[in-house]
Amino acid sequence: MVTGNRIRYRDAGVNIDEAERAVGAIKKMAQRTFSSNVLTQIGTFGACYALAGWKKPVLVSSVDGVGTKLKIAFLTGRHDTIGQDLVNHCVNDIAVQGATPLFFLDYFAVAKLDAEVAASVVSGIARGCRENGCSLIGGETAEMPGLYAPGEYDLAGTIVGAAERSDLITGRKIRAGDALLALPSTGLHTNGYSLARKLLFEVAGYQPNTWRHELGTTIAEELLKVHRSYLKPIRALAGSGLLKGAAHITGGGITDNAPRMLPPALGVSIDVSAWPVPPIFELLRKIGNMPEDDWRRTLNLGIGMILVVAEKDEMRAERVLKKMGEISYRIGRVIRSKRGGPRLEYR
């Protein structure tokens, strides 16, 4: 059927002018993250990066999102930290393999584009990239009316890093008896938010601005704490020849993530009294009357990174971390595990 009305793209819900305003702001922020290896500007069909200065480089990549932590950004109207969460999460995922971050690509999709919100999100991405020595060289900003709820968006990112083949952290040198050192998280990081939102807002009936004395802040501020980067301490231990393996504690908690760094026939024994569990996790457990195994498998419980060092190097590694201002906890040991048997025990 043909009508006499003229239908424009904006009549279908897509505003090209708003997209151009968003891209203009994004371009300026991205350019401030560029290194001399970036060969193209934002806006080309493909981003070019010169891989220079490596002898036998291995590219290490990862793609991830920030899950339903986005809902907290929507609820509070604060969008300037969620991008930093995304970058740091991705950086940690390749840092545990021994990789140096090179460049980052983001994907931002929304029903109706608001250039100010998009710029705020990307400001966090750019900040995360600068702090990790990574270049934001491209991405996709997609306006798709009807696919997302009004005022909401999706966010994902891809990171590419590199390591010398001889410097890859594969876990193959881990042995029974090695020590486990843990670095604290800043809070939930980017996992467990579906559960946290249900417990805090639906079950407990809290509002984003509800102040909780045990947290020392509001619910919203607690939930928006930035997922931290562990790149510097990982580099310091690896550069000192001390690091045998590392596990980024994300979805699945210590239970599912610690075994991922281990060779076959090895497991880990974790002393649950070895570190202080932050109040937010105890609050969630209390509200939900959560079974302990589910609690440990859903949340990081205050541990964002586990590092493996030889028993003889444990004190030296702690000194390296302390010199950097890093708090670390001795949380357990690597143990032998029968093939097919449990690879993690709590004690």
The pLDDT tens digits for 4-56 are 565 455 555 556 666 677 677 788 888 889 999 888 888 788 889 999 889 99
pTM over 0.75: yes
Q: Which CATH number fits domain 9-42+49-167: 3.30.1330.10, 3.40.50.150, 3.40.50.10320, 3.40.50.300?
A: 3.30.1330.10
Name the residue ranges covered by the structural domains of the chain. 9-42+49-167, 179-346
What band does 86 get if pLDDT is binned at 50, 70 and 90? Answer: very high
Whether 94 contacts 101, CB under 8 Å = yes
CATH architecture entry for 179-346: Alpha-Beta Complex (3.90)
Burial of 247 per CB tally in 10 Å (0-12, 13-18, 19+) = buried
Q: How far apart are CA 307 and CA 258, in angstroms?
A: 9
Encode pLDDT of 241-289 as tens digits: 999 999 999 999 999 999 999 998 899 999 999 999 999 999 999 999 9
Residue 207: which residues within 8 A CB-CB, separation 6 or more? 201, 219
